[in-house]
C-alpha cells in the first residue's frame, strides 16, 4: 500500500472526496496516512481528524521565506515516507526542491480545462470568474502532475462541465466540484496507486 499525504489550506472539500472514496473502497493500492495544512485555521484539519487521519500544521505565515517553508514541509513529507502527494486546495506553490524530489509523484486538481484559465494567479473563484468573463460555454476540471510551472505538469484526467445562463462564480464552482473535481481526484489517486499511470514527457498513458 502506498502512503498518500494530502496538502491542504482551506475547507477541504476535495480532501473529503478523497476520504469518502477511500472509505468506500474506491482508492486501491494506497491509503491516506497524513494531512498537512499551511493554515492552522483550515477546516480540512477537522475533516481529517474525524476520519482518524494524522495532521500536521506547517503554517506559511510562520516562515520568513518560501525557502524556509519548503525546508520544513520537505522534512514533514520525508518523515511521513510519502509515496504520493496530493494537493487538495493547497494555496502555496511548491518549491523546486520538493518538485524535483517527488517528480511525477505530486498531483493537483485544477478547476478548469487546462490550458484554459490556469497558471500563476488562477485559483479558487478567480478561475470561475475568468471563465464567466470570457464567455466560454464549457469549463471543467483537470488532474495533473505538478512540475516547476504552475499547472504545467502532464495531464492525467479531465472532465468538461457546462456553464449555465445566469451562473455566478459560486454556482459554477459548486457544479465543477460536484460533477468533476470530486470524481476525478479520487480516480486519479487510485490509478496512480495501482501503477496504471505512465508519464512520457508531457503525456500520460493510463492502462486498464
The residues that are catalytic are 110
Q: Helices 169-176 and 125-134, interaxial angle, to 10°? A: 110
d(CA 78, CA 153): 22
Q: Three cell numbers at 203?
A: 503525456
Q: Three cell numbers at 158?
A: 479531465
The 3-state DSSP class for residue 124 equals coil
Please say whether the dihedral angle defined by the alpha carbons of residues 176, 180, 183 and 184, taken in this order, is positive or negative.
negative
Please return the burial class of 156, using the count of CB atoms within 10 Å of its CB with bins 0-12, 13-18 and 19+: buried
d(CA 36, CA 53): 10
d(CA 22, CA 30): 9
Q: Three cell numbers at 106?
A: 505530486
Nearest to 29 by CA among 197, 183, 189: 189
Amino acid at each position: 500500500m502506498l502512503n498518500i499525504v494530502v496538502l491542504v489550506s482551506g475547507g477541504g472539500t476535495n480532501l473529503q472526496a478523497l476520504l469518502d472514496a477511500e472509505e468506500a473502497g474506491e482508492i486501491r493500492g494506497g491509503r491516506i496516512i497524513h494531512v498537512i495544512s499551511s493554515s492552522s485555521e483550515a477546516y480540512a484539519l477537522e475533516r481529517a481528524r474525524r476520519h482518524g487521519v494524522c495532521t500536521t500544521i506547517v503554517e506559511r505565515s510562520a516562515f520568513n521565506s518560501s525557502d524556509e517553508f519548503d525546508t520544513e514541509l520537505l522534512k514533514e513529507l520525508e518523515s511521513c515516507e510519502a509515496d504520493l502527494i496530493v494537493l487538495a486546495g493547497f494555496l502555496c506553490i511548491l518549491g523546486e526542491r520538493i518538485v524535483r524530489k517527488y517528480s511525477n509523484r505530486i498531483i493537483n486538481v485544477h478547476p478548469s480545462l487546462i490550458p484554459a484559465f490556469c497558471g500563476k494567479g488562477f485559483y479558487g473563484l478567480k478561475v470561475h470568474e475568468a471563465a464567466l468573463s470570457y464567455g466560454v460555454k464549457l469549463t471543467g476540471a483537470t488532474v495533473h502532475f505538478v512540475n516547476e510551472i504552475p499547472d504545467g505538469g502532464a495531464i492525467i484526467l479531465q472532465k468538461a462541465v457546462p456553464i449555465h445562463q445566469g451562473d455566478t462564480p459560486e454556482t459554477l464552482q459548486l457544479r465543477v466540484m460536484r460533477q468533476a473535481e470530486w470524481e476525478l481526484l479520487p480516480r486519479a489517486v487510485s490509478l496512480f496507486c495501482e501503477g496504471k499511470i505512465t508519464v512520457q514527457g508531457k503525456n500520460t498513458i493510463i492502462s486498464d
